[in-house]
Structure 1
Amino acid sequence: MTDLSLVLYVEDDADIQTVARMALEMVGGFTLRTCGSGREALLAAAECKPDLLLLDVMMPGMDGPTTLAELRKLPNTGTTPVIFMTAKV
């Protein structure tokens, strides 16, 4: 079983970032590396080796699925588990 401690969280909405940070860090005990865009996530992933990718589906510029496709090309995130999130109904 893999230890899931470092989460690379990609979300463009600051309010949703705040709520998720409280839930994941304070309640869940995870360490978050938060990014506001897909491009920012690519830079962050080159610097860290996350245990889990948590991606917003709908973001301006580079959406979640496109971000994941690019993250899959990087050695640190080529096989990292991913969860997609959305605030849309």
Structure 2
Amino acid sequence: MKRILVIDDEADIREIARMSLKITKQWDVLIAATGNEGVAIAAAEQPDAILLDVIMPEVDGIATLQALNQNTATQHIPVLLLTATVRVATQKQYAELGAKAVLLKPFDPAMLGTQIERLLNWSSPE
């Protein structure tokens, strides 16, 4: 079973993502409300992937991504960024910072797990 960590300051987004991934993929979903909390959970729990919001107060998604990449306990975990606004230049910058992909908000809860599998080249058991 895959284990995903969702880091987002919006409780509604965390809950929608959690329920979506549990129901559609039966994945174990961990949640964090801040970047610092997310880095700590990622280091302790070693999820298979991280879904990370870009726009958050205090420690934003980019600073969180950099912290994850600098930590030897978490630098191997693929990070997918969640954002409401993305330009091609921004996507290139995110990739250079180590993000595996960018998902746009609002996302379709019914398709979220499938999108994650496709972006990370995980094969879905049929």
- Compute the TM-score of the two structures, normalised by the length of structure 2: 0.62
Which structure dedicates a bigger proportion of its chain to helix? 2
- Check whether the contact 2:55–2:83 (CA below 8 A) recurs between aligned residues: yes
- Check whether the contact 2:3–2:47 (CA below 8 A) recurs between aligned residues: yes
Q: How many residue pairs get matched?
A: 86
> After TM superposition, where is structure 1 displaced by more than 6 Å over at least 4 residues in a row?
none
> Which ranges of structure 1 fall in alignment gaps of 5 or more residues?
none
Per the alignment, residue 21 of structure 2 pairs with: 24
**Sequence identity of aligned pairs in percent?**
36
Q: How does 1:46-57 map to 2 (within 5 A)?
A: 46-57=43-54
**Structure (1 or 2) with the larger CA radius of gyration:** 2
Deviation at 1:31, TM superposition (A): 0.8
- Compute the TM-score of the two structures, normalised by the length of structure 1: 0.86
1:37 aligns with one of 34, 37, 42: 34
Deviation at 1:27, TM superposition (A): 1.2
The structure, 1 or 2, with the larger RCO (C-alpha pairs under 8 Å, 6+ apart) is: 1
- 1:45-78 deviations in whole A, cap 9, x for unaligned? 2211111011001000111111010011222321
Matched to 1:73, the amino acid is Q
Are 2:67 and 1:70 equivalent residues in the alignment? yes
CA RMSD of aligned residues (A): 1.6
- Check whether the contact 1:5–1:31 (CA below 8 A) recurs between aligned residues: yes
- Check whether the contact 1:6–1:30 (CA below 8 A) recurs between aligned residues: yes
Q: Distance in 2 between matches of 1:73 and 1:64?
A: 14
Aligned partner of residue 59 in structure 1, secondary structure: coil
